[in-house]
Amino acid sequence: MRFSGGTSLRALACAALIFVIAGCQKSGDDEPTQYPVRAELNQTDRSALEKNWSDIPALVEKRCVVCHGCYDAPCQLKLSSSEGLIRGASKERVYDSGRMQDAPLTRLGIDAHGEAAWRTKGFFPVLKDPSQRDAFPSALISLLELGRANPVPPNKRLPEAIKLKTVRQLSCPAPNELEAYTEEHPMGGMPYGMAALEDTEFQRLISWAKSGDTLPEAPIRIPEPVAAIVGEIETFLNRPDDRHKLTARYIYEHLFLAHLHIEGDGPDRFFRMIRSTSEEGPAPVEIATRRPFDDPGSPFFYRLVPVEGTILHKEHIVYDIGPKRLERYRQLFFSEDWRIDGKPPYSANAGGNPFSTFRPIPARARYQFLLDDALFFVRSFIRGPVCYGQVAVNVIEDRFWVSFLDPDADLSVTNQTYLDAVTPLLELPVSLSDKDIEDRLESFVTGGPLEYARHRYRQYAASPQYQNGPDYDDIWDGDGTNPQAHLTVYRNFDNASVVTGFAGDYPETAWVIDYPLFERIYYDLVAGFDVFGNIEHQLTTRLYMDSLRREGERNFLTFMPANKREAFVAQWYEGDLVAVVDWLRDQPLDTRTPTGISFQSDAPKPEFLQELLTRGGGLWPLSDPINRCAGSACAGPGSLAGTLSEAASQTAPFVRFLPNLSVLLVTGTKQEDPVVFTLAHNKAHTNVAFLFREKERRQPDKDTLTIVPGQFGSYPNFFFTVSSERLADFVAALKTIKNQDQYLEFVARYGVRRSSPAFWETADIVQTALHRQSARQSGLLDLNRYKDP
């Protein structure tokens, strides 16, 4: 394909990427300063640590880890474990949109072990070393004292000197730079940009910091019944025959980020699946590779190791495993006779095309494996260690609904010849890493996805099964038992969340995911994504995901009347440049193939989505009593939900002023604890077809608010509190907001600012409520993105 004048698409694609990365430079590597290494603790030292500071881990967790837990923790200072505290901080950024080369891996607990190893990677200490006296100052002490000496003004907007952007220029002072830092940045103490700690909390933390001690950590003891199940799982994964080896590899590549919960165990113990050089023993040595499909380089064994340190909600993706799960694996993967002709290699090419790598495993087994835990796998797209991703998640709408094609309706499952034919077209960007940049761009931007879309269209159109078009029976209904068959995805600007069922009002867009789409999204965003990767990797991942989003939307449109499809696309993709993108990257919209559904109204989208909910045998509520209901299905007048419904699912001026995700605490009810609601701001756009200039594509006059009982986000942006008696006043005041000044008055009345003396107490209440909502699924919320209106 060429533009007029002979300009090749390859050249244009290459030029576009070069434009994005122009001016980026690789920084030089300075020789790291040599710091003394702390002495290893003996058992007596550990006992004294536990005796003297047993209360410190919980205090550090709720006052420090809330901002220093994930990869976006300032200066890579992760305080979620003793290892992270001893490792210290670094001047290197994990999130660097301009780096030309992959960054060295610095995954805590994986890429280095012990303080000396981290020092060679450029990390410097933040703790006082008791054996070195005052050889160098402690950042922990200095910054706590700086924050104490210069508190933020209570209940006021933060001073201009305090910057809160997630990706911002950071000082990250090394020990020999602390004195200059404290003089130049008097408001740069800890807790940064937040209310001062209570006197007792500060005194306890500063006493501990001045002792130079690390965090006490209780030894991990695994009960014998749990250990027995772990052994059973490892035995299954490490069986020596080729079929089990390939199946185990498939399972590992899909569960390497999972927090594995052993069936029947308590709610607070989890494991990780690793590849280890040791077959047995209490301390497996993990083989560290950049991606799960990279060559481990030596014989290995799959092992389960306990998850250590604080559980962070953003990284907490729970997957149940045990005897029942193993029996399900046997049903899925071994009930059918299949053979392997040669073991597939470990490489980027192999990982970039899982359809080729795992071809011997029946496609039905692979797809059903994903469907069984659809919530887990979709959640893995948007949780995990990738803690910041505005450019990544602006590829999706702010709220949309997801359903799945039934396995019996999926040609990639029912027709191996079809799947073999499209497999070469399903390569992901990571598989092309050995090709030059022009070939890589053309291959995945306009090559594979476009050719696949054309081939899929032709084959489905010719299939006898689809002669009358797809109908309701072609959507997976969870087999009548699995509520994960329908999901709601929320985008919260630079992160996202997912819940079961259809939440909120009818969305603008919806997806239908089939097996090839499900697998490619996973390998694009999870298995094949490298947060430490260079700018090209970051952009190609996002651009490919743009194609996958369009594919999910087009799958949905096949269920809509043929003569309505153009109108839907025109609504979803407004703007002059969208037509150019469609021409370059999309199969022409199918406006001829009929749907197999006889719609009874002129509103086919809500009719279709509503009908899906009736086909699960009661798995999902048919309405949303706050956001989408009629008559008796709505929350009762005067109830908390009924009162809040007056502000939900409507376009109004007040919505644009709210943060992406707010938590509302309603006190004074019959319940002992506050009732919690999440307020999700659904931001409207002309389209989500481009990487940058998002603000110019915003349509704030079309924004809506979804109000959900409980919590689902990892990054609350703001807290509001109100008594039940004043809830109606809260809603009335909210609906009258038409400008920023009125919003600030509303915040002064009902909001909890970062500078509020009630901030930390409120944060504790919100955290406790999340744990009470689901102890097994809860984790520590991250306050890094709390707003300062």
Number of H helices, E strands in the chain: 29, 13
Q: CB-hemisphere CA count at 13 Å for 369?
A: 24
User: Average of pLDDT values for 183-204?
Assistant: 97
Rounded distance, CA 682 to CA 704, Å? 5
Alpha carbon distance, N-terminus to C-terminus of the chain: 49
Spatial strand order of the sheet with 661-667 comes to 704-709, 675-682, 661-667, 718-723, 751-752
Q: What is the pLDDT of residue 2?
A: 33
Q: Is the peptide bond before 354 cis (omega within 30 degrees of 0)?
A: no
One-letter amino acid identity for 727? L
Pairs from 20-25 (Cβ < 8 Å, separation ≥ 24): 20/535, 20/539, 21/98, 21/100, 21/535, 21/536, 23/98, 24/98, 24/99, 24/100, 24/535, 25/98, 25/100
CATH 3.30.1050 domain range(s) in the chain = 631-773
Alpha helices (H) along 276-362 = 323-334, 348-351, 354-357
Q: Indicate whether 388 pLDDT > 80.
A: no
Rounded distance, CA 633 to CA 172, Å? 54
Contact status, residue 260 vs residue 303, Cβ threshold 8 Å: no
Q: What is the pLDDT of residue 141?
A: 96
Strand pairing category for 259-262 and 661-667: unpaired
| 470-483: b (≥16 Cβ within 10 Å) or e | beeebbbbbeeebe
User: Average of pLDDT values for 210-214?
Assistant: 91
Q: Indicate whether 397 pLDDT > 80.
A: no
Rounded distance, CA 91 to CA 29, Å? 11
Q: Indicate whether 1 pLDDT > 80.
A: no
Q: What is the pLDDT of residue 432?
A: 72
Q: What is the pLDDT of residue 624?
A: 95
pLDDT digits (tens, 9 = 90+) for 720-742: 999 999 999 999 999 999 999 99
Contact status, residue 138 vs residue 89, Cβ threshold 8 Å: no
| 76-92: b (≥16 Cβ within 10 Å) or e | bbbbbbbbbbbbbbbbb
Rounded distance, CA 406 to CA 334, Å? 21
Q: Name the residue among 35, 36, 41, 34 with its Cα closest to residue 213.
A: 41
Q: What is the pLDDT of residue 690?
A: 67
One-letter amino acid identity for 313? H
Rounded distance, CA 271 to CA 281, Å? 16
Q: Indicate whether 391 pLDDT > 50.
A: no
Q: Indicate whether 11 pLDDT > 60.
A: no
At 714, list the tokens.
Answer: 């990892």
Strand pairing category for 259-262 and 718-723: unpaired
Distances (CA, A) of 597 to 49, 250, 510, 587: 68, 37, 17, 23
State the pLDDT confidence band at 286, using cuts at 50, 70 and 90.
very high
Q: What angle do CA 356, 361, 363 make, to 5 degrees?
A: 80
Q: What is the pLDDT of residue 543?
A: 84
User: Average of pLDDT values for 246-256?
Assistant: 98
At 549, list the tokens.
Answer: 């989003």
The highest-level CATH class for domain 631-773 is alpha beta
Q: What's the mean pLDDT when you consider all of the chain?
A: 90
At 671, list the tokens.
Answer: 């319940």
What CA dihedral angle connects 555, 561, 563 and 565, to 10 degrees?
-30
Rounded distance, CA 120 to CA 552, Å? 45
pLDDT digits (tens, 9 = 90+) for 616-639: 889 999 999 999 998 889 999 999
Q: Indicate whether 23 pLDDT > 50.
A: no
Element (H or E) spanning 18, and its range? Answer: helix 9-21
Rounded distance, CA 402 to CA 210, Å? 52
Contact status, residue 36 vs residue 135, Cβ threshold 8 Å: yes
pLDDT digits (tens, 9 = 90+) for 641-697: 999 999 998 899 999 999 999 999 999 988 889 999 999 999 988 877 666 677 778
CA 455 from chain center: how many Å?
32
Q: What DSSP assignment string belongs to 668-725?
A: SSSSSSPEEEEEEEE--BS----SS-GGGGB-GGG-EEEEEES---SS--EEEEEEGG
Q: Indicate whether 30 pLDDT > 60.
A: no
> How many percent of the chain have pLDDT more than 90?
72
Q: Indicate whether 13 pLDDT > 50.
A: no
Q: What is the pLDDT of residue 760?
A: 98
pTM of the complete model:
0.93
pLDDT digits (tens, 9 = 90+) for 437-473: 666 666 666 678 889 999 999 999 999 999 999 999 9
State the pLDDT confidence band at 436, using cuts at 50, 70 and 90.
low
Strand pairing category for 496-500 and 301-306: unpaired
Rounded distance, CA 21 to CA 14, Å? 11
pLDDT digits (tens, 9 = 90+) for 337-362: 999 988 899 988 888 899 999 999 99
pLDDT digits (tens, 9 = 90+) for 92-101: 988 777 788 8
Q: CB-hemisphere CA count at 13 Å for 399?
A: 24
Q: What is the pLDDT of residue 300?
A: 97
Q: Indicate whether 256 pLDDT > 90.
A: yes
